[in-house]
């Protein structure tokens, strides 16, 4: 809307937009001019001396992105960023490929904060989300441990994430001139219905009752051991293979065992993978078992790691002799097909 004459803030007579209001004032059927446009005149004359401040023409919106200016525009527009070179924010008005917009943002941002090639950022985020163990892509850097692709970029990824958060924090500090203690919990903010809030709270509480928390954050599972005076908790999200779990547990419980570790330092006889055959209990001292959601005790290693993470309620390190009865059950379950 390029209308020079359109200075009124009310949009009462939008049909007169194209006309110069001085000449073509619309008359209603009584022959009087529309009251509201008279009002709007009053309003603009009140703010007439403010017209220059408002600079309405300059603040006229175009649907271009900030930094893209037609030659006529006046220099001090609201959306010109402070001090940064325009080219960072200068995007062509033609339909953009999705990636260029998104990475454009990223580039501008990260170049300001940290000279990291955009590929690094991109891959870091990609690996976060596609890694098998990721439940909260934004946060847990540890989760990418198992994903080969992320390895090389982890070093790049972490500092950029930190710097992003750092600059977000500073921007919050700069920007909150009007904010009442924005970090403290404000009543009724964010505007989520109490019903929904309460539902989510009780869902996460229920999940915790199952001796583990699904989803965002850690997945803590209790680990007990025959003969040990107390039990430990492990966060299953820290591991992505049975091997890792087993060695971690071995280290954790080694203090309870005297001279039982195998040659490789592993406490347990080789862990069963989904492919290997069932028979492993050749009189090894300890085996690792778990209680699943149905309450059955099974040998660890039967199922794919992901499924194990989701079904495991408790872990127990049993003496090998106690665990012999488990083997057929585990085999039975695994032949059901999935």
Partner 1 sequence: MNYFPDEVIEQVFDYVTSHQDRNSISLVCKSWYRIERLSRQRVFIGNCYSISPDKVIERFPAIRSLSLKGKPHFADFNLVPYDWGGHVYPWIVAMAKSKVNLEEIRLKRMVVSDESLELISSSFANFTSLVLVSCEGFTTNGLKAVAANCSLLRELDLQENEVEDHRSQWLNHFPESSTSLVTLNFSCLKGEINLAALERLVARSPNLKTLRVNRAVTLDSLQKILSWAPQLMDLGVGSFIHDPDSETFYKLKNTIVQCKSITSLSGFLEVAPYCLPAIYPVCSNLTSLNLSYALGIPASELIKLIRHCKRLQRLWILDCIGDKGLEVVASNCKDLQELRVFPSDPFGAGNTVVTEEGLVAISFGCKKLNSLLYFCHQMTNAALITVANNCPNFVRFRLCILDPTKADPLTQQPLDEGFGAIVQSCKGLKRLSLSGLLTDMVFLYIGMYAEQLEMLSVAFAGKSDKGMIYVLNGCKKLRKLEVRDSPFGDAALLADPGKYETMRSLWMSSCEVTLGACKALARKMPMLNVEIIDDSELTVDEALCGGAPVAVTADGDDKQKVEKMYLYRTLAGPRNDAPEFVCTL
Q: Which of residues 27-56 bind partner 1 (CB under 8 A)?
A: 39-40, 43, 54
Token pair for 17: 């937009």
Assess 331 for contact with partner 1 (CB under 8 A): no
Assess 180 for contact with partner 1 (CB under 8 A): yes
Task: Return the number of other C-beta atoms located less than 10 Å from residue 28's C-beta.
Answer: 9
> For residues 113-132, which are near partner 1 according to CB under 8 A?
125-126, 129-132
Contact region for partner 1 (CB under 8 A) — 22-30, 209-217, 224-232, 251-259?
209-217
Assess 188 for contact with partner 1 (CB under 8 A): yes
Q: What phi and psi, each to the nearest 5 degrees, are found at residue 102? A: -65, -50
Closest C-alpha to 128, from 111, 98, 153, 163: 153
Assess 174 for contact with partner 1 (CB under 8 A): yes
How many whole angstroms separate alpha carbon 239 and alpha carbon 234?
A: 10
Assess 22 for contact with partner 1 (CB under 8 A): no
> What minimum distance in Å lies between the beta carbon of 226 and partner 1?
26
Q: Within 13 A of 23's CA, how many CA atoms are on the CB side? A: 4
How many whole angstroms separate alpha carbon 226 and alpha carbon 317?
A: 6
Token pair for 310: 């989701």
> For residues 221-260, which are near partner 1 according to CB under 8 A?
none
Q: What is the torsion angle, in degrees rounded to the nearest 10, for the CA atoms of residue 27, residue 28, residue 30 and residue 34?
A: -80
Assess 293 for contact with partner 1 (CB under 8 A): yes
Q: Which of 196, 209, 255, 283 binds partner 1 (CB under 8 A)?
A: 196
Q: What is the distance in angstroms between the CA of the first residue and the CA of the last residue of the chain?
A: 62
| DSSP per-residue string spanning 157-198 | HHHHHHHHHHHHHHHHHHHTTS-SSTTSPPTT-S---HHHHH
Contact region for partner 1 (CB under 8 A) — 148-156, 172-180, 226-234, 243-251?
172-180
- Using the minimum distance from each CB to partner 1, give the nearer residue, 32 or 200: 200
Cα distances (angstroms) measured from residue 50 to each of 38, 43, 56: 19, 11, 10
Q: Within 13 A of 93's CA, how many CA atoms are on the CB side? A: 9
Contact region for partner 1 (CB under 8 A) — 210-218, 256-264, 281-289, 319-327?
210-218
Query: Under a CB-based contact definition with an 8 Å cutoff, are residues 243 and 271 in contact?
Result: yes
> What minimum distance in Å lies between the beta carbon of 102 and partner 1?
5
Three-class DSSP category at 220: strand
- Using the minimum distance from each CB to partner 1, give the nearer residue, 27 or 216: 216
> For residues 51-110, which are near partner 1 according to CB under 8 A?
54, 59, 61, 63-66, 78-79, 81-82, 84, 89, 91, 96, 98, 101-102, 105, 108-109
Closest C-alpha to 250, from 327, 317, 321, 322: 317
- Using the minimum distance from each CB to partner 1, give the nearer residue, 122 or 256: 122
> What minimum distance in Å lies between the beta carbon of 270 and partner 1?
24
Assess 4 for contact with partner 1 (CB under 8 A): no
Q: Which of 48, 92, 215, 328 binds partner 1 (CB under 8 A)?
A: 215
Do you know the residue count of the chain?
A: 338
> What minimum distance in Å lies between the beta carbon of 330 and partner 1?
11
> For residues 134-163, which are near partner 1 according to CB under 8 A?
134-139
> What minimum distance in Å lies between the beta carbon of 51 and partner 1?
13
Tell me the site size for partner 1, rule CB under 8 A: 89
Task: Return the number of other C-beta atoms located less than 10 Å from residue 85's C-beta.
Answer: 10
């Amino acid at each position: 809307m390029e209308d020079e004459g359109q200075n009124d803030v009310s949009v009462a007579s939008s049909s007169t937009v194209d006309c110069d209001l001085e000449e073509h004032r619309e008359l209603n059927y009584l022959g009087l001019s529309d009251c509201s446009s008279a009002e709007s005149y009053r309003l603009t004359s009140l703010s007439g001396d403010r017209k220059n401040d408002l600079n309405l023409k300059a603040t006229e919106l175009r649907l271009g992105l900030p930094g893209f200016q037609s030659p006529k525009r006046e220099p001090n527009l609201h959306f010109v960023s402070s001090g940064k070179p325009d080219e960072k924010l200068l995007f062509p008005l033609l339909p953009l490929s999705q990636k260029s917009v998104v990475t454009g943002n990223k580039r501008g941002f990260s170049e300001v904060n940290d000279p990291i090639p955009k590929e690094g950022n991109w891959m870091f985020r990609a690996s976060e989300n596609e890694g098998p163990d990721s439940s909260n892509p934004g946060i847990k850097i540890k989760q990418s441990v198992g994903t080969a692709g992320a390895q090389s970029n982890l070093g790049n990824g972490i500092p950029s994430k930190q710097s992003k958060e750092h600059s977000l924090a500073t921007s919050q500090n700069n920007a909150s001139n009007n904010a009442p203690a924005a970090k403290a919990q404000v009543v009724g903010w964010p505007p989520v219905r109490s019903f929904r809030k309460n539902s989510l709270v009780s869902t996460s509480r229920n999940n915790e009752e199952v001796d583990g928390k699904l989803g965002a954050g850690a997945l803590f599972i209790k680990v007990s051991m025959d003969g040990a005076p107390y039990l430990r908790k492990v966060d299953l999200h820290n591991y992505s293979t049975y091997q890792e779990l087993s060695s971690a547990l071995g280290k954790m419980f080694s203090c309870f065992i005297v001279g039982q570790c195998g040659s490789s330092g592993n406490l347990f006889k080789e862990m069963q993978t989904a492919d290997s055959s069932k028979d492993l209990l050749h009189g090894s001292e300890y085996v690792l078992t778990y209680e699943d959601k149905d309450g059955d005790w099974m040998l660890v290693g039967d199922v794919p790691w992901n499924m194990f993470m989701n079904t495991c309620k408790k872990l127990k390190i049993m003496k090998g002799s106690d665990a012999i009865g488990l083997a057929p059950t585990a085999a039975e379950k695994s032949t059901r097909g999935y």
